[in-house]
Amino acid sequence: MMKKITYITTVVMIANTAIAQSLQDAITKTDNERFESAAVDFRNLIAKEPSKGDHYFYYGENFFKRGDLDSAQVYYAKGAELNATFPLNYVGLGKVLWFKGIQPEAKTQIFKATTLGGNKNAEVIRKIAEIYINADQKNLDEAINLLNVAIKLEPKNQESYLLLGDALLEKNPTDGGPAMKNYSKASELNPKSPKGDLRSGKLYQRGQNYQLALTEQVKLLKLTLLNYLTS
């Protein structure tokens, strides 16, 4: 009997690991603008686990990054409906409203997310900061404060440093030093990811340091090729 229970537990763990990997694969495809391929993955994930809130949020992100805010809103809302305690979909709803210029309603959704996350969910904090950095109506000081909290919660997460670099550069476009420091930290934490090198290269190019920009672009091409060959 014990062997049977152990076997079942192992099978469940393997299945959950495979689903988590599939979700991360779909997120990575979205980041790399392979939107249609990612969408197929998200639909498969939703079919397997129809009440899992993160599947709907990241599928919504897929649409948002394409510029399709209305479809993104549909999936964020569906995720919130099916899993009311999962905070990220409220961030998504708040983001759509914020980008549409409806700030009061956006703040209500963001407040729901922070309440559910208890100010201890680093991914929720990062996603809120991302809104304040990328929207036309920015709140860079709040974004910087939030990202410093996220870094305290997850000091080895690359995304927090990337976003902090973005926020610092938006706040002071004439001084790329603080941004570069954070991009370098992000690359140090995740050497296999091209994100830090991509931002560093763009920053060097912006400062007309073309030799360093070229160096970063070569590193980026190598990483991209490596990721493609191993994917």
Full set of structural domains in the chain with CATH: 1-117 (1.25.40.10)
Eight-state DSSP code of residue 192: T
| The dihedral formed by the CA atoms of 96, 161, 152 and 135, expressed in degrees to the nearest 10 | -20
Of 133, 136, 210, give the one whose Cα is nearest residue 169. Answer: 133
pLDDT reported for residue 2: 44
Percent of the chain beyond pLDDT 70? Answer: 80
Of 200, 205, 193, 139, give the one whose Cα is nearest residue 167. Answer: 139
pLDDT reported for residue 4: 45
What does the pLDDT look like over 186-202, one tens digit per residue?
Answer: 999 999 888 988 888 88
| Alpha carbon distance 102, 15 (integer Å) | 41
pLDDT at 16 over 90: no
Task: Provide the residue type at 61 as one letter.
Answer: E
What does the pLDDT look like over 85-143, one tens digit per residue?
Answer: 999 999 999 999 999 999 999 999 999 999 999 889 999 999 999 999 999 999 999 99
Stretch among 8-22, 51-65, 140-154, 190-204 having the lowest mean pLDDT: 8-22
Task: Provide the residue type at 227 as one letter.
Answer: N
Of 102, 100, 91, 97, give the one whose Cα is nearest residue 125. Answer: 91
Task: Provide the residue type at 195 as one letter.
Answer: K
| Alpha carbon distance 100, 131 (integer Å) | 12
**What are the start-end ranges of the H helices in the chain?**
2-31, 35-48, 53-66, 69-82, 88-99, 103-117, 122-134, 140-153, 158-171, 177-189, 195-206, 210-230
Confidence of residue 215 (pLDDT cuts 50, 70, 90): low
